[in-house]
Structure 1
Amino acid sequence: MVDAFILVKTGAGESERVLDDVRKLANVTEAHVVAGAYDLIAEVSADAVYEILDASASGIQGLAGVTDTKTYISMDD
């Protein structure tokens, strides 16, 4: 199992709507609005790394209101 954290920047006033959309995506186990340089953080779990990349590139980055993402793959077993 591969786990990752995806940080998401949204357009002004878009965080809550984007959060709802992110939570509906396959492989997203949790998602929250956060304070800081990014607006949301999503935890993603999948069987393989390419599924994590797909969740980020095709899933989250494809949502309306998303302006930037940064993906961190967990090194824990």
Structure 2
Amino acid sequence: MVHAYIMVKTGPGTSEQIVKSIRGLATVAEAHIVAGAYDIIVEADAEAVYEILNAASNEIQGLTGVTDTKTYIAMG
């Protein structure tokens, strides 16, 4: 099992709608709106690293209003 954190930047006024969409993704365990350099923090779980990277680069980055993401794979 692969566990990862995906940091998401959003455009002004879009975080609430985007977090709802992100929570519906199959690999997402949790997603929260936060204050700081990023607007949403996502916890994701999958069988393979490829599934995490696909969720970040295709599913999350493909949402209207997402401006940037950073993915961190948990090492232990």
Q: Which whole-Å CA distance do the structure 1 matches of 2:64 and 2:29 have between them?
A: 20
Q: Which whole-Å CA distance do the structure 2 matches of 1:49 and 1:40 have between them?
A: 21
Specify the alignment match of 1:53 in structure 2.
53
Specify the alignment match of 1:43 in structure 2.
43
- Runs of at least 4 residues off by over 2 Å: none
Q: Which whole-Å CA distance do the structure 2 matches of 1:24 and 1:17 have between them?
A: 11
Specify the alignment match of 1:19 in structure 2.
19
Q: Does 1:64 align with 2:67?
A: no
Relative to the length of structure 1, the TM-score reads 0.97
Q: Which whole-Å CA distance do the structure 2 matches of 1:44 and 1:15 have between them?
A: 18
Give the deviation of 1:26 after TM superposition. 1.3
Q: Does 1:9 align with 2:13?
A: no
Q: What is the percentage of aligned positions where both structures have the same residue?
A: 63
Which ranges of structure 1 fall in alignment gaps of 5 or more residues? Answer: none
CA RMSD of aligned residues (A): 0.4
- Number of paired residues? 76
